[in-house]
Structure 1
Amino acid sequence: MKSYLKDFIKEQKVVVDELSNLKKNRVEWDKTVHEHLKRRGPNRSQDLTVRGTSPCYQCFFSAHVLHMRGFLTPQPVQDNTGNVLLWNGEIFGGPWGFVYYQKAGDYLWFGRDFFGRRSLLWKSDTEGNILTLTSVAAHSSEPDQSAWQEVPAVGVYRIDLKAAAEAGSVTLEVYPWARGGNDLASSCSETVLESVPGGCTAVMNGSGLVLTSPVCPLNTAIPKSFSENEVNLNSQSCVKDLEQLLASKSKDEEVNRLVVVLSEAVRRRVQSLPFSVQDSSPPPNDHASVAILFSGGIDSMILAALADRHIPAHQPIDLLNVAFKLQESKKQQESAKKPKKTKNKPTDSKTNGADLQTSSPFDVPDRVTGRAGLEELQDLNPDRRWRFVEINVTQDELHSMRQERICHLVYPLDTVLDDSIGCAVWFAARGTGFITEDNDQRPFTSSAKVVLTGIGADEQLAGYSRHRVRFKVTGHEGLIQELAMELDRIHSRNLGRDDRVIGDHGKEARFPYLDEDVVSYLNSLPVWEKADLTLPRGVGEKLLLRLMAKQLGLGQSAVLPKRAMQFGSRIAKMEDKHEKASDKCTRLLTG
């Protein structure tokens, strides 16, 4: 099987139905979904039908390949005995979604990796006795669209196709990941039952088998006393604070170990990515094989610094920085016409940037910190060609592309937060904007197929404001519970959506902070080694990562407080509405 998986990234859609429904199903094949799948896998598309007898069933497979390296192998892959594989992922450490038809036994297996880094959706049509699995769906105003759900990343699923054909309903046998806890089966069943397709039943597999977890359990130790914070820190964080902490807390060993495991995680994801995949010629010097979703914050800065270690020196690295046009109020427009008095305010571009006067409607906070981060990277390696891609989005373009594309990719998620992040990531990953080189600004579109994203850092190192709130109320015990919950739900809150959104451009999202070795190392540490929320913002949260940034030679970016993408890019202000992040977003509805 490994020979099939080794070098390729795939997308899949599988429809399992009765013989009498096959023709109808193929005639009604959703053209929009097919187009979405083809954009994810633009290099080769192929369909395959297999039949089962006594009783009758049929499986229709449609696969779309994104060719990254080596020789292109079409999918679906079928062996001499009739087994069929559709694989969407990589084998450098675990990101995958798959569907596998096992002819002997008439079984269909499918699932997502431990964290759910690849999208997989399901839906059941009870009238037609059809089960559909797909990497991406299509939003519709039809009432039955509510049946679409993300497949929970709690394990691997098996369907007995003959039994399903006889019964007229589908039973999903679950082989769950071992995630700890005393009642694994109960916890797994609850998660699956929340999103199981209508007419389907989920049960624990009859043998009680459990899949081995790819990461070690979370360290739940609680300090007997917490008096480690003996260094006097300023209320406004600065790089010197981190230097003091490195000297006083003896964190060199933990920091150095994190550098090793995270650097290796980045290396696996950025190497062996030739541009010319059909021959052995080297990529041209102006081609970047890797791009980074880049705000200038600590997460993306560290990814850039580590990628610099492993990407050939002659290749550029594309830094994708998205900004949504600020809408000026009448008061601002009137003020702009009046001459302004010069005030003695700090204008250091490497500060947080949120309060600085802007000279362009696209000078949002992430643009300001992004430029400052670019300067730090240029200081770190002046020989590298760092391409800072300014991706500017107007309100008209946002509305147009949301209706045409993004609403389908975010679906079945539907909140205001999903809309904001989904739109911001989609425009950023598209990579179409401007770059400035030699004082010359020109249009530019990144052709990098691999897009690194910093998701997973905040979830593991207490980077969100809610972590400070939880710590203040319930201490270390509550904070540990919050962090455990973050990773348990990241598959349903973030990763499927981001995979669908980035994959729409024929690119692959890669998540170094969610590499199994990185997660295992961070899980092994007591929580106070990773974050110290008694310290000021910009130091205490993600403390270990900030110390690592200092170790790597980064500057002011090491102490930038967390700024959510929807606020840093200013998309949250684009609609000028008072909404909660958890509200359902009417803008994602199609006509």
Structure 2
Amino acid sequence: MCGIFCALSLSPARCVWSKAVREHLKRRGPDLSREVTVEGANSCYRCLFSAHVLHMRGLLTPQPVQDDAGNVLLWNGEIFGGLPVTPEENDTAVVSRRLSSCVGPSEILAVLSALRGPWGFVYYQKAGDYLWFGRDFLGRRSLLWAFDAEVGALTLTSVAACESGPAASFWQEVPAVGVYRIDLKAVAEAGRVTFEVYPWARGGRDLVSGYGPAALESTPGGCTAAMNRSGLVLASPVRPLNTSIPKLSDEEEIHPNSHPRVTDLEQLLASKENDAEVSRLTDVLSEAVRRRVQSLPFKARDDSPPSNEGAAVALLFSGGLDSMVLAALADRHIPAHQPIDLLNVAFELQVPKKPIESARKPGKHKNKPADCKSDGADPQTSGAFDVPDRITGKAGLGELRDLNPERRWNFVEINVTKEELQEMRRERVCHLVHPLDTVLDDSIGCAVWFAARGTGFAAAEDGGQRPFTSSAKVVLTGIGADEQLAGYSRHRVRFTASGHEGLIQELQMELGRIPSRNLGRDDRVIGDHGKEARFPYLDEDVVSHLNALPVWEKADLSLPRGVGEKLLLRLTARRLGLGQSAVLPKRAMQFGSRIAKMEARREKASDKCTRLLTE
């Protein structure tokens, strides 16, 4: 993974870029930094390329990569399939070689279409003076753009900085609708930037009317976009969603209001049809996890076996269904002598201030416990951090220990006080979340940032707790399960109102908007710690497999909460040997960690969050 930056200038002036942006990029890529500048004939344009590398596989490869022909590549991604990459190779070098051999646009599109894994890239093609850039089909890597009309400069970057005043809305996320090409000679002559769009082919839908608007209209102010004249497209890496509607069924149903039990899943597993589907999902999801936990940093300086102390892989861990399944599958593919870090974040429970005696209203208050407030420095005063995700996390830890008692499961209790939250939001998180700006972005962004940092307390050998910071560079996250398997409460609402047809429409919308709602933000937030976010539920093979299934095989929302939503994944959890975690209802991270309650504000998730504004 890398922090990448490109500034295209149409004027002779040198590019001057923010020190804050440079620092954010360096934290993403702490292992190596480098810059390359190229100029057009007669200095009609200038491109500054800057990269900051997080070394993840093969030999450490400096970026930007400039080949003998003068082509320049900025690559922020991982290849998990599609192109052959040996364990000793670096995927940046592999992509550079393949792109260097390309002549026309169709050849470049063929290379990008073949890739499996998350990526964001910028590529300067010397022959023809073209600048290519874009994000993968699901938008799993961040890429932002901005255009300064006054100086004629276009900037592309993994992460920006939130600034007050007119520049506050300067940045936008590059839409994950395809890749873009700039004809640098034509742009220099015209004095304005036009993007040529090469969209993803998505399930046979009409590209111009269905996906064209996002590519053509969501451009920085002062820039224009047009579909490529040749009609070329990128081949979709996933198959379209199965939109079939089930026939009426006379099968016996569990009462929607009944309490979910593990035995309910056992009964459903007894069905041969369900059993086969569970086996198939287990296999494809297991392979997706394997790719992500075995593509780990190359140990060039140490040939000895990995240390029993430091983990290479961590999980954002609540003890809920999604993270428990990932933990159980990671356990299959990581040697038993290597630990796995379970990152569990909790925000300090706020105790209401005691009202002044004379101001109390009879019958309007309840007896409150003595002050249990803690600054988080002493892990023994953990009552203030006994949030729902901490409780389910500890229960999940017990299940994992039962599955594999030989492994060291480092359950990391990450305790965040109100004061630290406000400080780190102001210093770091507001810049990483930007340009997103809602209350939900604030809550999720802050929770994920503290969790991914991995600094807290873990079990000590004497039975107590010790300060602990996760050493893992790879962070697995369960995002994508709810969006594909009808895990949110809004899916149940839509199903109740509009049946399977409405639910299918909702799922189509969920996967389509996940790049702009979640993935760019989460990549920026996790990457700030010099760690790489990996999303097994969004592996192309997993998405294709789930898209191929009829909706009623993935979820049955006539069944009670804790069983019907994500039903297929719950059955998979039972197949893996998990217990009560398989029937835990969905609980959003902002509520499970209690960050949504910390600052006691009555807000809607979609409201603009004033706490993200810089002074």
TM range (shorter): over 0.9
Q: Which residue of structure 1 aligns with residue 362 of structure 2? A: none
Secondary structure of residue in 1 paired with 2:509: helix
> What is the match of residue 41 of structure 1?
29
Matched, 1:203 2:226: yes
1:500 aligned residue: 524
Q: Are the structure 2 counterparts of residues 294 and 160 from structure 1 closer, same or farther at C-alpha, using a change threshold of 3 Å?
A: same
Map 1:94-113 → 2, pairs under 5 A: 94-113=117-136
Which structure 2 residues correspond to residues 76-95 of structure 1 after superposition, within 5 A? 76-92=64-80, 93-95=116-118
**TM-superposition CA deviations, 1:127-186 (whole Å, max 9, x none):** 111000000000000313312100000011100011111111111111101112542122
Contact 1:17–1:130 (Cα < 8 Å) also in 2:
yes
* Partners of 2:402 and 2:471 in 1: CA distance: 25
Counterpart selection for 1:131 from 154, 163, 170: 154
Structure 1 residue 284 displacement after superposition? 1.2
What is the DSSP-based 3-state SS (H/G/I as helix, E as strand, rest coil) of the residue aligned with 1:435? strand
Q: CA deviation at 1:416?
A: 0.1
Contact kept? 1:100, 1:110, Cα under 8 Å: yes
Rounded Cα–Cα distance in structure 2 between residues aligned with 1:294 and 1:589: 29
Query: 2:32 and 2:209 mapped to 1: Cα distance?
Result: 41
Residue 575 of structure 1 pairs with residue 567 of structure 2: no
What residue in structure 2 maps to residue 549 of structure 1? Answer: 573
Contiguous gaps of at least 5 residues in structure 1: 1-8, 339-357
Kindly provide the CA deviation profile for residues 568-591 of structure 1, in whole angstroms up to 9, marking residues without a partner as x. Answer: 000000110100000000000000
Tell me what 1:435 maps to. Answer: 458
Counterpart contact for 1:246–1:547, Cα < 8 Å: yes
> Are the aligned partners of 2:11 and 2:152 in contact in 1 as well (CA < 8 Å)?
no
What percentage of aligned pairs have identical amino acids?
75
1:294 pairs with 2:317: yes
Q: Residue type matched to 2:406 in 1?
A: D
Q: Which runs of 5+ in 2 are unaligned?
A: 81-115, 355-364, 372-380
TM-superposed CA distance for 1:251, in Å, is: 0.4
Question: Secondary structure of the equivalent of 1:34?
Answer: helix
Separation in 1, partners of 2:11, 2:221: 21
Contact 1:115 1:490 in 2 (8 A): yes
- Counterpart contact for 2:254–2:560, Cα < 8 Å: no
Residue 315 of structure 1 corresponds to 338
1:125-524 equivalences in 2 (<5 Å): 125-230=148-253, 235-248=258-271, 250-274=273-297, 276-330=299-353, 335-337=368-370, 360-438=383-461, 439-524=463-548
SS at match of 1:212: coil
Once the 2 structures are TM-superposed, how far is the Cα of residue 234 of structure 1 from its aligned partner?
Answer: 6.9
Task: Report the 3-state secondary structure (helix = DSSP H, G, I; strand = E; otherwise coil) of the residue aligned with 1:251.
Answer: helix
> In 2, distance between residues paired with 1:574 and 1:134?
32
Give the direction of change, closer, same or farther, for the CA distance of 1:180–1:240 in structure 2 (3 Å limit): same
The one-letter amino acid of 1:77's match is: V
Shift of 1:232: 6.3
1:12 maps onto 2:4 in alignment? yes
SS state of the match for residue 383, structure 2? coil
Shift of 1:311: 0.4
CA contact (8 A) 2:348 2:416 kept: yes
Higher mean C-alpha deviation, range 53-62 or range 451-460: 53-62
CA contact (8 A) 2:296 2:312 kept: yes
Please give the alpha-carbon distance, in whole angstroms, between the structure 1 residues aligned to 2:557 and 2:479: 20
The Cα offsets for residues 345-398 of structure 1, whole Å up to 9 and x where unpaired, read as xxxxxxxxxxxxx97010000000000000000011111100100000000000
**Alpha-carbon distance in 2 for matches of 1:134, 1:144:** 16
Q: Distance in 2 between matches of 1:337 and 1:199?
A: 59
Structure 2 CA distance for partners of 1:304 and 1:156, relative to 1, 3 Å = same
SS at match of 1:63: strand
TM-score norm. by structure 2 comes to: 0.89
Give secondary structure in 1 for the equivalent of 2:368: helix
Matched AA of 1:307: A
Q: Cα–Cα, structure 1 residues 198 and 337, in superposed 2: closer, same or farther, change >3 Å? A: closer
Cα-Cα RMSD: 1.7
Aligned partner (choices 7, 10, 13) of residue 21 of structure 1 = 13
Q: Is the 8 A contact 2:74 2:123 kept in 1?
A: yes
User: How far did 1:525 drift?
Assistant: 0.2
Distance change >3 Å, CA 375–CA 537, structure 1 → 2: same
CA distance in 2 between partners of 1:134 and 1:175 (Å)? 20
